[in-house]
Amino acid sequence: MSNLLNELGLSIAEGLRSKTISSCTKWASRRRIMGEETDFPGPFSFDYHPWCKEISDSTASFNTAMKGAQLGVTEIAINRAFYTIDVLKKAVLYVLPTQNNASDFSKTRFNGALHNSEYLKSMFTDTNTIGLKQAGAVPLYIRGSRGDSNLKSIPVSYLILDEMDEMDQRAIWLALERLSGHMEKSVFAISTPTLPKYGIHKLFLKGTMEEWTFICPHCNKWTELTWPDCIEIHGEDVNDPKCSQSFLKCKECQHRLDHMIKPEWLKSAKWHVTNPEADDDHRSFHVNQMYSYTVSPGELVVAYFRGLGDEAANVEFHNSKLGLPYIPEGGQITDDILDNCISNYTTQETRPLESGRLIVMGVDQGKWHNIEITEYFFDTYSHDLNVAATAKILWTGKILEDEFPRLDELMREWQVMHCVIDPDPQINDARRFARRFPGYVTLCRYRRGQTGKEISIQEDELGTPMATVDRTNWLDAALGRFRSKRILLPRDISREYREQLKAPIRTYERDEIGNPIAKYVETGPDHFAQARCYAEIALPLAASYVTNKDIAAFL
């Protein structure tokens, strides 16, 4: 009888405690236990990540956190998921970049949280399925962003997007659509940023754009930590031991801010809105590693020096340390670069009357087919035909997806020697187009694993020539012309063409063994940029067909 009464008393006490949990921060402090493998084991605390407290309790419908790495924000996303399920009794969709990320998250972060907390362990009644966890009648869906089927038919009112910049950006809007059937809906998007006006930065700009500010203990002015205004750099390179002598300073009074007593001078800190015109129902936050209690000023300086000689490390420094978007030098075509390529002719000039001109066509398929027609001239010598040639854009335009016969007209009108076309989405139409011009049309797909500008050509099951190329290397060749001024643009080139040439941005990432590799990220529609790339690929294909030589002779 006494055991029964004790259990009843504990149950009543637990029920009373639960009624006092009116915020996510209170819930986390009482329900989450961090494991020994974490930096701060024991009951969850905001002591070492004070900027996370207000993010955790924000009541705005839309919350965006653009942050440096290892600043505690991911744990806030996890807490908000658990709190929403446990206290608010609402289903949650937690989206990560890939299905492998989702699986790893489910097995480590989620199961680890349950392992360390008896309350969480008792809360979930079914945790066997990797992508679906059940807390009574309330589900937690864990999904990767790749593949539409992962996000379809999931009716939730709370959406969490974790590492948004690494996601399939189209899938983000699909995930947001999952909320459309709910009167009350909430979104929590977090990520280390990559590029300006892309992913998390694009959302950040739409919100309140809040920065973490504090009162300087020396001049009593409200201020914030920014690079390089708030760092006194010592040392000259990565290996210089003097780097450890670097220190933070107030940008208002230049006085040293002691890293070892950060909790003291950050105790007055609060979020400051820098975009007062934004809807206050979308709060957006930015915090960088200069605030971190676990990253010293010396470590930041070493990371900075590492980036001076390594562009991939420089990208990582800006994104992961400063929590800022960054475009590597020369990573984007600009209006100035395009203006320098404008020449005194128009797209309306007379079509070619004589044969033998090296004219090619590139076609990017879609709802609209984007087309570039280009002529190549040679004024230098190189074994690489693309390097030796200067390009002249003769015509650009668009046709609707059901206007494939118009491509036939353009082939004849411009006496095109070779056309390279994206095979999707209308692969059968593309195949028929190629069969109508045998030897003059090649379908082309991008594929990783091709070396340099290597072009591998095989016939598909219907006998259609299909080229596979490395996307990054061919975009380098196609867009690099604008920087080297080995391409001419007509003075009436469209604004749309210009904008889409600026959409792909060349940046860097690390491969599975840590080596830097270049990649292009699309920050907007880039169909004409792809048509430009296909027109570049068409040059050696045209030469190969005319001379009956192996294409490798021209690469």
pLDDT tens for the chain, 555 residues: list them. Answer: 445 444 444 444 444 345 568 899 999 999 998 887 777 788 899 999 999 999 999 999 999 999 999 999 999 999 999 999 999 999 999 999 988 988 888 888 888 888 888 898 889 887 778 888 888 889 998 988 876 556 666 777 789 999 999 998 887 876 676 666 666 779 999 999 999 999 999 999 999 999 999 999 999 999 999 999 999 999 999 999 999 999 999 999 999 999 999 999 999 899 999 999 999 899 999 999 999 999 999 999 999 999 998 889 999 999 999 999 999 989 999 999 999 999 999 999 888 877 779 999 999 999 999 999 999 998 766 778 899 999 999 999 999 988 999 999 999 999 999 999 999 999 999 999 999 999 999 999 998 766 778 899 998 888 899 999 999 999 999 999 999 999 999 999 999 999 999 999 999 887 777 788 889 999 999 999 999 999 999 999 998 888 888 887 787
Furthest C-alpha separation in the chain: 105
pTM of the model: 0.86
Q: What was the pLDDT predicted at 381? A: 64
Q: What was the pLDDT predicted at 181? A: 60
Q: Which CATH class is domain 23-209?
A: alpha beta
Q: What was the pLDDT predicted at 147? A: 66
Q: Where are the domains of the chain?
A: 23-209, 214-273+296-326, 335-554
DSSP letters along 324-365, please? Answer: -----TT-S--HHHHHTTB-S--TTSPPP-SS---EEEEEE-
Alpha-carbon distance values, 350 to 347, 358, 413, 494 (Å): 9, 16, 10, 19
How crowded is the C-beta side of 242, counted as CA atoms within 13 Å? 6
Residue owning tokens 């070396």? 451
Angle at 193 between CA 189 and CA 198, to 5 degrees: 80
Closest CA relative to residue 474, chosen from 522, 526, 393, 532:
532
Q: Are the C-beta atoms of residues 397 and 497 closer than 8 Å to each other?
A: no
Q: Are the C-beta atoms of residues 55 and 47 closer than 8 Å to each other?
A: no
Is-same-fold flag (23-209; 335-554)?
A: no
Q: What was the pLDDT predicted at 1? A: 47
Q: What was the pLDDT predicted at 22? A: 83
- Cβ burial, residue 117 (10 Å; 0-12/13-18/19+): buried
CATH number of 335-554: 3.30.420.240
Q: Are the C-beta atoms of residues 181 and 154 closer than 8 Å to each other?
A: no
Q: What was the pLDDT predicted at 450? A: 65
Q: What was the pLDDT predicted at 10? A: 40
Q: What was the pLDDT predicted at 151? A: 64
Please write down the long-range contacts of 428-432, taking CB distance under 8 Å and 24 or more positions apart: 429/404, 430/365, 430/464, 431/460, 431/462, 431/464, 432/404
Q: What was the pLDDT predicted at 153? A: 63
C-alpha of 305 from chain center:
25
Helix (H, G, I), strand (E, B) or coil at 25: helix
Helix (H, G, I), strand (E, B) or coil at 452: coil
Range list of β-strands (E), 35-81: 42-43, 62-67
Q: What was the pLDDT predicted at 86? A: 94
Q: What was the pLDDT predicted at 4? A: 44
Helix (H, G, I), strand (E, B) or coil at 199: helix
